[in-house]
Structure formats: C-alpha cells, structure tokens
Structure 1
Amino acid sequence: MSIVRSIPGRIRFEADSEQAALYCKDSLLAEFGDDFEEAEFYYSERSGRGLVLFEKDRQLTDKAIGVMAKALKTSLVSDLPECRSAALGDENACGLPALSNGAYEQDELENPFWIVAKKVFNFYTTRLLMPMALRPYWTAFSVAPLIFEGVRSLFQRKLNVAVLDAAAVGSALAMRDYGTAGTIHLLLDISETLEDWTREKSRKDLASLFAGDGKPAWVLRKGEEVQIALEDLVVGDLVVVRSGSRIPVDGVVADGTAMVNQASMTGEPLSVKCSVGKEVYAGTVVEEGKIVILSEGVGDQTRFAKIAQVIADSESMKADIHGQAVKLADKIVPFSFILSGIIFAITRNWMQAAAVLMADYSCAIKLSTPLAVRSAMLESAHCGALIKGGKYIEQLSQVDAIVLDKTGTLTRATPEVVDICPVNGYTREFILRNAACMEEHFPHPVADAIVRKADEEGLEHDERHAEVDYILAHGISTTLEGNRMILGSRHFIHEDEGVELAGAEDQIKRCTENGLSTLYMAVGNKLAGVIALEDPLRESAYRFIRRLENIGMKRIIMLTGDGEATARNVAAELDIDEYYAQVLPHEKTELVDRLREEGYVVAMVGDGINDSAALSHAHVGVSMKHGADIAQEACDVMLTSERLDSLIDAMSLSKMVMRRIKRNYRFIVGSNTLFIGLGIFGIITPAMLAFLHNSGTVMTCAYSMRPMLPEQ
C-alpha cells in the first residue's frame, strides 16, 4: 500500500482493500477538516487503486501525502468492523464510490423531477400527519445539521455561506416561525441535490457514451466461439460482435462487414460501414451485420477508459469563474449581516432585519455556476470535444487566434507515397526498401505510408542497419555498411547535415512542383533520392476555416514543416491568408508566445510530438484523437472524433455557457434585491421571502442544467 502519483490537488494511491481506502479518507478528514470536506474519494476494488481530488494546493498536497502514507501503513481491516461484510465491488459498501478502470456504475439515475417531488411530498406529508406539538421539535431536529455547520465555520473564524444559511434558519426558529425554517432547509436541500445529481449525471452519461452493457463477450478460441467475461479480454483476442451489440474493445476489423453506430465517439448520427482493416472502438454499437475484431485495446487501454479518466481528473480543474463565484458568494455574506444590523438599528423590528438574512445572493451564485460549467462539459463531450477542465471552457469562449498544424489537422493524416526520385546512381528499390526499414520503428502517418508502400510492392526490408535515432522534427538516422544514412526534411539534410543538392534539381523539381510533401534520403553525406508524399485535405477543412471566420476569429494561421510550395498550395486551396512553411518545434512555440504577447487568446491545434510544446504554451491546446500520446497529454481539449466541427461546437458551447452564467448573475441580483426590498418594507412575510428566494435558487440551478446546443 503506497502513494502512486501526485500533483497539486490530486493523489493516486494503492490500497489492498476498500476498508484501507476508507481509513485514508477518515484520516484526511480528521487531520484537515474543512479543507477536505469538499474532497472527492474513489476506490476500485478490482485494480486496488484509489484517487483523491481536492483543492489545487501544493502545500496541502504535500501534507496530505504524509497523512495518507501513514494511514496506508497502519490501516487494518479489523480497525473497520463496519466494513468487514462489505460486498466485493459494492461501490457504497464503505462509503467510497468506485474508481473504475474506465467504467462507472451504469445504474440509471432517477429523474431529478421525481427526486424533488418526493422531497416536497415527504416534507409536507410529514408536517400534515405530525401532531402540532411535535412539529417544532421535528423542525429543530431537521435543521440542526445546517446550524451546526454554520457554528463550526464561526469557530474556525470563517464567515461564509454556511454561516448565513444557519443564521437564516436560526432567525426563523427564534421567531417561532417553524414553517419558514423547514422550508428554507427543504429548498437548500433541493438545490444541493440538483448539484449532486448533475455531477453524477455527467459522469454516468459519459460512461454510457462508451461503456459496454456488462454482458460477456464472444471470442474465437481454436476456431470456436467462446463466451468470456469482459475483464478476461486480452490484446490479440478475436472478438465476435453481432447486430445490436456494443463493441467491448478497441481494435481492427479482421473479418466481416457491419454498419456501426459511432455517435458516441464521433457525434455523427449516421452509422458507418466497417469492413476488414477498419478501426472500431469500445462503446460503439453494431447496428447491422457481424464482424470479428482483432482487439488492440482492452480495459484501461480503450479510448473510453482514457476519456473517463480525464473526466475524473477534470473535477479538480475548476473554471476561474467557478472559483470567483465561490469567493464572491462568501464575500457577500458579511454585507448581508451588516445590512440586517442596520435595518434592526433603524426599525427595531426583528422581522424586517431577518428579511435580509432570508434572501441572500450567495447561495444561488455558488450553486448555479458549477452546474452550468459541468453541463457544458458533458454536452461538449457528446459533440466529440473532451474538455479537460472547467477553466478551459472560459478560455475557449475568449479565443480569437487559432494556430493550425497542417498535417493530421487539416489533412487526413493518411499520406500516400506518390513518387520516388532516385539520384546519384541509387535505385528506386534501394530508397524505398531502406526508408521503410528505418521508418517502421516509428508510429507516425508518414512512416506508415512508406512502410505500406514497400509492402504493396513486395519489398522485404529486413534490418541490416544499426540502431535508428529519431531527431525531433528533423528526421531519422542510422548506419548501413559503415555509412551514415539519414532521412528527413530538406532543412535537415541540406542545412543541418550539409548534404549538397546540386545536380539533383530536376528530380527534386519533379517531386515538388505539384506541392507534394517531400522526404530526402542521403547515404554517406551524398543525396540518394527524394520521396514525394501526398496527404489529402479533409473534406470538412474548407468549411471548418469558413466557420472559424464566421464566429469572429481574428487570426487563423496554418503551420507546416513542409516546403513553401506545399504550404502555399494548401493555403490557397483553403483560402488561408497567413501561413508559415518549414516550421520547427521551437518556432511553433515562439509564434504562440508572440501571439499571446500581442494580446490574443490563442488556441493551438496539433497532433504530433513536435506540437506538444506549443500546445502547452497556448491558452488552449487542442489535440486530435489520433495524436501522439504526449500531444494528448499536453492538450486541454481532445477531439474524440475526426470532426473538426467538434472544436467549433466546443467554442460555441463555451460562449453560450459564459452568457448563461452572466444571465444567472443578473437574475440572482435583480430578484433577490427585489425580495429583500419587499421584506424590509413589510410587504411580504419572512416565510414568503424565504420561499421566493429559495425557489429562485432552484429555478436558476434547473436553468443552468438545460442543454445549450440545438438537437441535431
């Protein structure tokens, strides 16, 4: 049992039982109190791993690690008798929700309308059936936790929303207005229930987008179809999926043809035809046909598992406006007490003074903002853009300059070798065979194209060279029969390595005159040939650029490591005015930094290793689904489909949610100012004031949860 990994606000740990994990939770709460009251704890019995998410603070994290390490070392199952009989896999057996390897509980959540209706029904039914003499005691018992919470905050020298809520309820009790006290407690409970429901709904909906139905999978073993549990699937299994079934693995179709609904991954409502060689993903559904899939990703390694983990991690990445809302809510509290005191000093009327406490601004502000942000994150995920934290929603809404890496973003990332130009006595076969031998070591679209071309032509490329070295953003090098062999860009070959290109101008021109991308091969400091590749543009690329212009993007910049002719042709085809050719990784980062210094809010879209630095320097880094692992790690938004329009949807959602939050502010301030005024002048009673205020809070929360994009 130990700490596995930690960053500020997030600690992943290993524990041999759920009881030990709960012991960790209790230890943290006992040590830090309020600092961990809002923390979230998860534990997976199957993997033996847990996760703690809390306020992003380095010093607090370091202290928490020490407490957890001690708790993990000393915890014993016998210390927790209440958990001895916990059922294996029961996520609530010890009070800890499961942290699955990409699979959350799939039980249906109850409709929030019925949750609220039941609370209201139970509240008023209990009051109606309870003897009048017992109602004050029942009310006092019900609101006691709320009052204790406020008192505890006061002892900790905090004047926050909890204190204000306790004061409002306490004032009602002091005036013997037990109905008002109970109503305040009921409506506060409903507001918090809606927030909890939305958080859980977002997680479960994301899971339902991708997760299987829990049914066993069918696999081929020795030519026979065998049914096995999902957790027993391994890479290399041949998985059989028929009509109406979910695909349980990521992989490639090895046999058969089927129509697969990939809406959960791509956002596209129409099913696509998947035959031999086509990639398919866990969580998508076979609508018609039967396919056999060679599994390449199972369990934690499926795309869904990685996405689900990002969502789990994103809980600690609150939007700045979320944090501002919480701080603003707490800052308003003292003014509510001051105003209440002034009213009492003037009127000597407790009822009018209490009116200020009955209707405050802070509760609705604190609850509605995170609800709106979480709802937007969920809706964006449905549209194919996974936003890794609430704070990036705010930044996306302000983006006014976008930098696009050409290869893999505006192009399909499936280049093809269209020409090979040998020079200086080398043969076409020599160039292709040895280029494939070098490139097969690297999972990159260009490398795949060269290896694929060699395979198509039946060229065997057995290794006869030394170890291959990758030189970031330039090329690769090795040694063949004592001679250094290099393959890469013109800049790498000619300027960095000093290989002369004189005498090969005609062959180079033949490969570059049509704007094709080129790779140069040199052996022993002598040019051996040029490989020309074509990477077709995405069909949606032109529309994507126009949509960016339509939403008011001030700067649209295309970057590429290709030559000037290729960049110029692509820019002309897409009608992009600003582009840069032969760009190196540090130059991409410098461009992003320069745009930031000029006052732009910058989004960088890329998918390669050489894009990762620029992605992390941009206000918002965006990676494509096929991007390199480091690019997906460095990005803030990951497109889970090939739809470039998913990024537009995410930007639109971000702007809409910011407008919604501002509308919420205006409504909260306007309505509560009106309610307080009516209460001060005695036009409405404190009971009615509390009812109107808390009803407005519930309405604001419900409005924050509504979808924003129109149904497609």
Structure 2
Amino acid sequence: MTRMHTWLHGRWGIPAVSGAAIVVSLALTHLLKAPLWGDLFMIAAAVVAGTPVVVKAVRALRNRVIGIDLLVSVAAIGAVLVRNYWEAAAVTFLFAIGHALEQATLNKTRSALAELVAVAPEVAIVLRDGQQVEVPASAVTPGETVLVKNGAKVPVDGEVIAGAGALDEASITGESIPVEKSAGDTVFAGTISTGGLLQVRADGVGADTTLARIIHRVEEAQDAKARTQTFMEKFSAWYTPGIMVLALVVGLATRDVVLALTLLVIGCPGALVISIPVSIVAGIGRGARDGILIKGGEFLETSAKIDVVALDKTGTLTEGRPELTDVVPLDEGLTANDLLQLAARAEAGSEHPLARPIIAAAVARGLDVTGLPEHTEPVPGKGIIATLDGHSIAVGNLALMSSGDATDRAATLINELAARGRTPMAVSRDGRVVGVVAVADRIRDNAAEMVRRLHAVGVKKVVMLTGDIAPVANAVGDAVGVDEVRAALLPEQKLEAVQELQRQGHTVAMVGDGVNDAPALATADIGVAMGAAGTGVAIETADIALMADDLLKLPQAISLARRTVNNMRQNITVALVTVAALLAGVLFGGVTMAIGMLVHEASVLVVIVNAMRLLRRTPAGSARRRQLEQRVDVEQRDAAAGADLDDARALQSS
C-alpha cells in the first residue's frame, strides 16, 4: 500500500491516472455506447494531466516568462472550449508522460553527481583514549587518528601515520587501479580500502575534504550556463510569443480554431530549450567520473576550441624530482666518489633545488656529508662558493671558474650533457676545475604519448614554456615531440608567450603547477591544473582540474569537450528540424494536435538520449584502463615469480 501511494505521488502518478481515465472514456464511448460519460472521463483526463501544466504556466507568467507550459495550457483549454475533448486529453496526457520521461532521463545525466554523493562516508572509527569509537564522519576532529579497515571507506582527508594497505581512488582520480598506501602517504575521503589496515591522522573533515570540494564544484559546473545555452534561452523568449502570434494570425485568417491550437502545440520549443543544458550536464558528469573537473558550460565550450596547448616542463612533462645522473672527475687525483662528496659538502649550505639530488646521491653511496661549510656564498645566476676545510669550492656554471685546460674540457663536457637533457654543473677547488656533476629530471613515461594524442584530438601546436636553459629544454622537447620550445623564460615571459599565441588567433590552454606559472595560467583561455586531488585551491580556481597526476587526462578532457559541443549541435539540429517539419505538416495538412504533441515529445526524448551517450566511457578511456590493469597484472606476476625464486633459494640454502 505504501509503495503504491509513493508511486502515485511520484513522477508517474499523474500520467497513470490520466491514462486510465482516457481508457475508461474510450470504453464507455465505443463499447458501452455512453458518449456523455465518455466525454466526462475524457475531460477528467485532461484536467488531471493539465492542471499541473496550467499552474506552472501561471507561475511563469507572474515572472513575465512565456514558456512551453503556456502554449500547452492555451491549446488544451481551447480544445475543451471547442468540444474537442480527445485532443485536449491526448495533448495533456502526452505532455505529462514526456515530462515524467524527461525527469527520469535527466536524473540519469546527473548520475555522476549522485555517485559522488553516494561514496561520501557516513561513519568513521576513531581512536579515543585507546578505544575504537564509531562516530559520524562529520564528528571527527582534525588531528584525531582514524582507523581504515579492509573494505571500509576513508572518512577524512589525511596522512597515513601507521599501517599499510591499498585504496581504490576511482571516486577522486577516475582510476580504478588500487594505490598502495603506507606511512607518510596522503589519503582522501570517499576512497575505499581494498586491503590492509591504515591509521590516518585527520586533516580535512566534512566540507573541507577533497570529495566535498569536488561535489560542490560539479554542482556549480552542471548549473553554469554555456554561451550557446544563454543564446538559446534568449531565442526562446522571442520564439514562444512569436508562435502565439502566428497561431492567432492563422486562426483569424482561416477561421479554423483547431488549426490555430494545433500550431501552438506543434511550435513548443521543448527540445530546443533542453538541447544545450542536457548535453552540458552529461558531459561534465562524464568528466567527473573520469577525474576531470570542468568549471562549467562556458569553459566546456571554450575547451572544445583549444588548438594550442602550452606546457611547463618541470613537474608537467617531467616528474619534478631531479636525480643525479653523471659524476665526471677531471682531476687525476680525484675519484668519482671524491668529486661527489666534495660537491655535496659544498652544497650542504645551499638552498638551491639542485643541491638536494646531489646530497641525496652522496648519502645513498654512503659518503660522509655531515656538517656545514665554514662559509657559503650564493652567486645569483651562477651557483655557490663555499669554504670547506680551508679550500674555496665552487659549484655552478663556468662563469664561476678560472680559465685553463680543465675549464675548456669542462665546457665541452657541459655542452654534451646539456644536449642530452641534463643540467650540468662544474666543480672547482681553489679556482681550478676538478670535475662536472649533472642532474636530470626524468621525463614522464606518457609524455610523448600525451603529445601524440593531443595532435590526434585536433590540437595544432604543443608548445613547451620553461625557465630551463635552451639545450636541456630542446632535449626534452625532442624526446616528447612538442612542436615548439621556448626556454629560459621568466614567469612574466611565459605570460607574454601565451598572449602572443592568443594574438595569432589561437585558443590556448596552459598546463602548469600554478606557482611560477600563475600569470600564464590566468591569462590562457583555459587554465589546467594537473594532479589537483590534493590541492583544494586548484579544484576551486582552475578552469579544468585533472585530479590524477596523469598527462593522458589532458587529451581526454579536450576530446570530451569536443564531443559535448558536437552533441549540443546535434541536439539543436534535431529540435529545429522537428519543429520545422511539424509546422509544415500542420500548415499543409495531415498533422493533428495529438500527433504533433507525440512527435514533439519524441524529439525531446531523442535529444536527451543523444546527450546520455556522453555518459559512456570512451574507447580511449577504456583502453587506458585495460593498459593499467595489464601493467598491474604483469607487476604482480613478476613479484610472485620473484617471491617464488626467493623461497627456492631459501630452501636450497637450508
């Protein structure tokens, strides 16, 4: 009984009651030969289905809006007045069914947001006074220790302080491959444990979690209007009164009231009005599922026009973690370890980012780099000069060094290393060059594939903008296949480069880390933040936020934008062709009010179903997922084989 009550009061209640009244009317009229009672039930069907429509029309008129509901209301009331009860009932019944189907399918296009809300955790297990206590997720206090057991949802954003396990982060990054977590790693609310036990220090709770920010962003984005949508709404505001005037003129000219009323029904711009927003909602929803957050319809449209992508090098095309690659002594009295120890001890007092990989490599080789130099003097743009055990040690470019044979040999070596994409530094002792060390930031495995896919989705030019020196930048650019390299740029010069590309007529997307690239990101037509899962600011401010630190998400985002805009155009075409065909059919005969409403509602459903195609995973996305899964399978097999070999060796030795 409760289920029936809920169903009748749901979206299908009114169409069901109205449809039942129509069936009874037809039975009374044609089977029982009681036309009077048949007419009464037909009027009842029209009243049941038409009352909500009339109410909406009146509310819209109070706000000075002339919409579809008014057209249907006038047509239905007019049909009743001219005693065409069947047309009145049929039009309102079909409109009610169309509205119910529209709501059902629109809810599906918003399913991505519903899925995000569904993964939001409701409870958390926290350690309080040594006891495990289950509390609502919103009641967790920042700083508390939360337990995440196998199969449980992570209730907070935080850092693992103990334990090990794996988390499915698909709800945040769009990747279904579980990620191993251990002490020091970051975890996000809404991710699901697939094994192990984690103790997590709560940092973000409730509305401060990454998941909450994503949900908020998707809500705003799906409601934001595209430029085309705004234009269509303005068009409809003039089109609907125009149809009413046309119907009035035709009615007065032909003295055919039914024809005029039919024109009102046929001219409903329902499919036209819904053609844009339904595509935007579906496209943004698909992106959210794949870990691609697009700020709104306007940015979706702009992204579809991107023909130039500008990329930062460090941290974007490369991993952003430089490592020592070369240690070349130029003094016969020094070994490679001696040279590395000398450079590392000198760099111990430096704040330069390239000092870290040198020191880390020395520690990894077991070299003693404890203590600080007696004196360290940074030389801007050149390197450092340190006093170490009474000797003057310089690490940097050759401008710091004295001339000599070793300096010439060092210059040749430095040029060779730079041409191979490495950042070389000369090391001198008491003014004499004794060797060269070099570091390099490893190029991401999928950087070249990303550039290839960008070209495949229609991007004409991929430009690398970097502050690194030209030889290193060119080597990286050649390795990944970018079309143009601009090196040795300051932040303001990156901004000027983006503006220059825009002046050439390009629609530019800028991908960067959001720090030294901030001016260029703000100036570009589309600013893209990559690996934004742990950056709340990026989620809120970037035009496109790629939640995973995955370069292949960028061509996927542009492809999605272009598919969405194409979908919008298809929907507009369907809507306009349908209205034009029906109007011609009415004016030249053959299309009745009921047939017109049926075709009209069918066109609305076609538009919605077409938009729902965007919710399907793209072949590229599916292929990427299969590739990741295959790679994990191979790694697991290799690990298992290694474990078996270790067991065999252990047995042999025993």
How far apart are 1:195 and its partner, in Å?
7.1
From the two aligned structures, give the one with the greater helix fraction: 2
- Inter-partner Cα distance in structure 2 for 1:634 and 1:179: 51
1:183 alignment partner, SS class: helix
Alignment of 1:235-254 (within 5 A): 235-254=142-161
* 2:470 is aligned with 1:564: yes
Structure 1 gaps of 5+ residues are: 1-111, 440-444, 465-479, 491-497, 522-526
Residue number in structure 2 paired with 1:67: none
How far apart are 1:154 and its partner, in Å?
5.1
Q: Per-residue displacement from partner, 1:361-419 (whole Å, max 9, x unpaired)?
A: 52111113201111110101111211111111111111111101111211123333567
Residue number in structure 2 paired with 1:391: 298
Q: 1:434 aligns with which of 344, 349, 365?
A: 349
2:177 alignment partner, SS class: coil
Q: 2:562 aligns with which of 641, 655, 668?
A: 655
Q: 2:550 aligns with which of 623, 643, 652?
A: 643
Residue number in structure 2 paired with 1:15: none
Alignment of 1:154-553 (within 5 A): 158-176=65-83, 177=85, 178-183=88-93, 185-187=95-97, 189-190=99-100, 193-194=103-104, 197-198=107-108, 201-208=111-118, 211-212=120-121, 214-219=122-127, 225-315=132-222, 317-360=224-267, 362-416=269-323, 428-429=343-344, 431-435=346-350, 438=351, 485=378, 501-503=400-402, 512=418, 514-517=420-423, 533-553=439-459
Q: Per-residue displacement from partner, 1:535-583 (whole Å, max 9, x unpaired)?
A: 2111111111111122221111011111112101111111223111111
Number of residue pairs the alignment of both structures matches = 561
- Inter-partner Cα distance in structure 2 for 1:650 and 1:416: 31
How far apart are 1:585 and its partner, in Å?
1.2
- Inter-partner Cα distance in structure 2 for 1:286 and 1:169: 57
- Inter-partner Cα distance in structure 2 for 1:350 and 1:458: 99
For residues 633 and 120 of structure 1, do their structure 2 counterparts lie closer, same or farther at Cα, with a shift above 3 Å needed?
closer
2:14/2:48 contact within 8 Å kept: no
Deviates more, 1:637-646 or 1:244-253: 244-253
For residues 613 and 193 of structure 1, do their structure 2 counterparts lie closer, same or farther at Cα, with a shift above 3 Å needed?
same
Q: Which has the larger radius of gyration?
A: 2
Report % sequence identity: 26
The one-letter amino acid paired with 1:201 is S
How far apart are 1:628 and its partner, in Å?
6.7
2:46/2:93 contact within 8 Å kept: no
How far apart are 1:421 and its partner, in Å?
11
Alignment of 1:565-644 (within 5 A): 565-626=471-532, 633-644=540-551
How far apart are 1:248 and its partner, in Å?
2.1
The one-letter amino acid paired with 2:18 is F
The one-letter amino acid paired with 1:206 is L
- Inter-partner Cα distance in structure 2 for 1:258 and 1:150: 57
How far apart are 1:320 and its partner, in Å?
1.2
Deviates more, 1:357-366 or 1:251-260: 251-260
For residues 534 and 169 of structure 1, do their structure 2 counterparts lie closer, same or farther at Cα, with a shift above 3 Å needed?
farther
The one-letter amino acid paired with 1:292 is Q
- Inter-partner Cα distance in structure 2 for 1:486 and 1:305: 46
- Inter-partner Cα distance in structure 2 for 1:571 and 1:563: 12
- Inter-partner Cα distance in structure 2 for 1:615 and 1:211: 31
Deviates more, 1:139-148 or 1:615-624: 139-148
1:248 alignment partner, SS class: coil
- Inter-partner Cα distance in structure 2 for 1:461 and 1:249: 41
Residue number in structure 2 paired with 1:120: 15
1:609/1:630 contact within 8 Å kept: no
How far apart are 1:135 and its partner, in Å?
5.7
- Inter-partner Cα distance in structure 2 for 1:315 and 1:461: 57
- Inter-partner Cα distance in structure 2 for 1:268 and 1:292: 23
- Inter-partner Cα distance in structure 1 for 2:379 and 2:495: 26
2:194 alignment partner, SS class: strand
- Inter-partner Cα distance in structure 2 for 1:530 and 1:224: 57
- Inter-partner Cα distance in structure 1 for 2:79 and 2:264: 10
Q: Per-residue displacement from partner, 1:341-372 (whole Å, max 9, x unpaired)?
A: 34324422111121211112521111132011
How far apart are 1:616 and its partner, in Å?
1.7
1:512/1:565 contact within 8 Å kept: yes
2:349 alignment partner, SS class: helix
Residue number in structure 1 paired with 2:608: 701
- Inter-partner Cα distance in structure 2 for 1:451 and 1:231: 44
Q: Which one has more relative contact order, counting CA pairs under 8 Å at least 6 apart?
A: 2
Structure 2 gaps of 5+ residues are: 1-6, 26-36, 330-338, 384-396, 428-432, 623-654
- Inter-partner Cα distance in structure 1 for 2:131 and 2:360: 32
1:191/1:367 contact within 8 Å kept: no
- Inter-partner Cα distance in structure 1 for 2:400 and 2:516: 26
2:320/2:441 contact within 8 Å kept: yes
2:68/2:240 contact within 8 Å kept: yes
Residue number in structure 2 paired with 1:83: none
2:324/2:438 contact within 8 Å kept: yes
For residues 316 and 229 of structure 1, do their structure 2 counterparts lie closer, same or farther at Cα, with a shift above 3 Å needed?
closer
2:137/2:156 contact within 8 Å kept: no
For residues 296 and 459 of structure 1, do their structure 2 counterparts lie closer, same or farther at Cα, with a shift above 3 Å needed?
farther
2:304/2:562 contact within 8 Å kept: yes
1:639/1:647 contact within 8 Å kept: yes
The one-letter amino acid paired with 2:89 is G
* 2:567 is aligned with 1:667: no
For residues 595 and 189 of structure 1, do their structure 2 counterparts lie closer, same or farther at Cα, with a shift above 3 Å needed?
same
- Inter-partner Cα distance in structure 2 for 1:431 and 1:676: 84
The one-letter amino acid paired with 1:684 is V
For residues 116 and 189 of structure 1, do their structure 2 counterparts lie closer, same or farther at Cα, with a shift above 3 Å needed?
same
TM-score by length of 1: 0.69
Residue number in structure 1 paired with 2:642: none
2:531/2:550 contact within 8 Å kept: no
Residue number in structure 2 paired with 1:11: none
1:352/1:681 contact within 8 Å kept: no
